[in-house]
Amino acid sequence: MAINSDRDPIVAIATASGRGGVGIIRLSGEDSFIKTFIEKFFGPTECLKPRYAHYRPFKDECGSLIDEGLALYFPTPRSYTGESVLELQAHGGPVVLQMLLRRVLEVGRSSGLRLAEPGEFTKRAFLNGRLDLSQAEAVADLIDATTEGAVRAASRSLNGEFSDSVHEIGDQVIELRALIEAILDFPEEEIDFIQSTQARERMHKIVDDFERLKHQSQQGSILREGVTVVLVGSPNVGKSSLMNRLSGTEVAIVTDVAGTTRDKIENEISIGGVALRLVDTAGVRETQDKVESIGIERTLQAVENADIVLHLIDSTHQSSDEEGQKILEKVMQRVSAGVPVLHVLNKCDLGSTSIPNPNWITISAKTGMGIEALEKKLLELVGWENKPESTFLARQRHLEALSKAYEHLKLAENFVNYPEPPLDLLAEELRLCNEELGQIVGETTPDDILGMIFSRFCIGK
């Protein structure tokens, strides 16, 4: 069996499955393939002017009409993939598109045309230098974005701003390293090296720029990954009510995970452009009841995965009980170090007067009182600065590469500050720093990681 090659001509339905006004079938391959395909599919005299829309009939093997629509030809290299591309825009019904796809495959089969794998068009764009790796990833992030903030940040990565920042730092690192290696080759000049090349000043500037990039990327990962907020508290303190209240204010996409009231229920909401996953947990209370104790075990698990724990308390103390306190302590023990816990007093519409702690927030899930302040506090805890114009939609992979690169950079900075800097070690740390940066844009990324990245794309992209 033949193994798929990056040079095979490929085809896929590029638009979403389901019904729509327009559906697009996209082919990519060498120019000779696309030209031959056009002649076979439309007739030997057909000649499509590059990048012009042509209205054409799409016919099956017997010459009967399947549909009519637009044909667009993008000759290499000015196309999405960098190869020659042909797009057929038909009506967007699933059956008509399948018929058209089948016909296209028939026509191209003898020239090796096959169905595209997930992400294969974008992979070719990367292999042909149309996009670097972080831009290619931004294509998928843009498609998957669930908030406006995420869309804007993905667009900025896609147009290369993130890559440019990474390159700018990488270039400075290379320059400094080149200076150092020159000295290593001509050791008699070593004494003046640090002064004459302003190595320390250069190093400080690189570290500054790097820290800014890192911060912008961390902000972006809040946008991309979202934040998990787990609601805990005794039964009847108003967890479900608060969940509904928060969801009602600015719903992005509501994903109700099926379950009973004793299960945890998840809701995805958007506050200030940030996606928050709210997890409502079963009431926290010691119990002999089997179903309920499963609920409690799930609560404990949910708490372990929380970015923020929201502890809800009934301000009228109606629902507090000793057992509840005990198990709540257990919950709090499970909260990982560094995960903030926000204490919120609910039902303040019932006229409770005493606030046990000035840092606690008082709300009423019923009337909406205090909800805005609560949302503000949540964003504060997340560390979200709401500056989308300077945020990069970084992936976990980027953050890891950045922090490894940063470690090498800090070691190098440390060496440069020695009275007699160990130049060979310094040069080596700079080299390692640059190698990690290269992983982000795909210059030094191993093949298996590339494969993994593109296989997570949807088909037709």
Q: Pick out the residues of the known binding site for GTP.
A: 236-241, 255-261, 280-283
Which residues are registered as beta bridge partners of 12? Answer: 26
Q: Which one of the spans 160-168, 180-188, 231-239, 438-446 is the region binding ligand GDP (CB under 6 A)?
A: 231-239
User: What 3-state class would DSSP assign to 158?
Assistant: helix
Binding residues: 26, 87, 130, 236-241, 255-261, 280-283, 461
Give yes or no for residue 365 binding ligand GDP (CB under 6 A). Answer: yes
- Smallest gap, in angstroms, from Cβ of residue 370 to ligand GDP? 9
Give yes or no for residue 230 binding ligand GDP (CB under 6 A). Answer: no
The binder of 449, among ligand GDP, Zn ion, none, by C-beta within 5 to 8 A per type, is none
240/247 with CB nearer Zn ion? 240
The binder of 123, among ligand GDP, Zn ion, none, by C-beta within 5 to 8 A per type, is none
Contacts of 127 (CB under 8 A, 6+ apart): 6, 82
Give yes or no for residue 240 binding Zn ion (CB under 5 A). Answer: yes
- Smallest gap, in angstroms, from Cβ of residue 29 to ligand GDP? 57
User: What 3-state class would DSSP assign to 33?
Assistant: helix
The binder of 438, among Zn ion, ligand GDP, none, by C-beta within 5 to 8 A per type, is none
Angstrom distance (rounded) from CA 243 to CA 410 = 44
Binding residues for K(+): 236, 255, 257, 260
Degrees (nearest 5) of the Cα angle 256, 304, 355?
A: 85
Q: HEC string of 165-221? A: HHHHHHHHHHHHHHHHHHHHHCHHHHHHHHHHCCHHHHHHHHHHHHHHHHHHHHHHH
Q: Rounded to the nearest 10 degrees, how much is the dihedral formed by the CA atoms of 130, 134, 137, 143?
A: -90
64/354 with CB nearer ligand GDP? 354
308/440 with CB nearer ligand GDP? 308
Give yes or no for residue 306 binding ligand GDP (CB under 6 A). Answer: no
The binder of 235, among ligand GDP, Zn ion, none, by C-beta within 5 to 8 A per type, is ligand GDP
* C-alpha distances out from residue 207 to 53, 176, 284, Å: 50, 13, 47
143/373 with CB nearer ligand GDP? 373
Token pair of 383, please? 């560390």
Give yes or no for residue 286 binding ligand GDP (CB under 6 A). Answer: no
Give yes or no for residue 460 binding ligand GDP (CB under 6 A). Answer: no
282/401 with CB nearer Zn ion? 282
- Smallest gap, in angstroms, from Cβ of residue 341 to ligand GDP? 17
The binder of 362, among ligand GDP, Zn ion, none, by C-beta within 5 to 8 A per type, is none
Radius of gyration for the alpha carbons in the chain, expressed in angstroms and rounded:
29
* C-alpha distances out from residue 332 to 276, 279, 289, 335, Å: 21, 16, 22, 5
Give yes or no for residue 299 binding ligand GDP (CB under 6 A). Answer: no
Residue closest to 366 by CA, chosen among 320, 325, 315, 309: 315
103/239 with CB nearer Zn ion? 239
The correct pick among 218, 241, 247, 352 for binding ligand GDP (CB under 6 A) is 241
Cβ burial 17-42 (10 Å sphere, 16+ → b, else e) = eeeeeebbbbbbbeeebbbbbbeebb
Q: Using CB atoms, what's the residue nearest to ligand GDP?
A: 238
Chain centroid offset of residue 106 CA: 37
Q: Which one of the spans 71-79, 179-187, 264-272, 364-372 is the region binding ligand GDP (CB under 6 A)?
A: 364-372
Report the number of secondary-structure helices (H) and strands (E) in the chain.
Answer: 15, 12
- Smallest gap, in angstroms, from Cβ of residue 364 to ligand GDP? 4
Contacts of 7 (CB under 8 A, 6+ apart): 30
Q: Which one of the spans 51-59, 239-247, 289-297, 345-353 is the region binding Zn ion (CB under 5 A)?
A: 239-247
Helix spans in 3-46 (H): 31-42
Which residues are registered as beta bridge partners of 428? Answer: none
Degrees (nearest 5) of the Cα angle 401, 403, 409?
A: 105
- Smallest gap, in angstroms, from Cβ of residue 208 to ligand GDP? 48
Give yes or no for residue 343 binding ligand GDP (CB under 6 A). Answer: no
The correct pick among 240, 320, 352, 414 for binding ligand GDP (CB under 6 A) is 240
Give yes or no for residue 366 binding ligand GDP (CB under 6 A). Answer: yes
Angstrom distance (rounded) from CA 414 to CA 421 = 9
Q: Which residues bind Zn ion (CB under 5 A)?
A: 239-240
Binding residues vs ligand GDP (CB under 6 A)? 233, 235-241, 283, 346-347, 349-350, 364-366
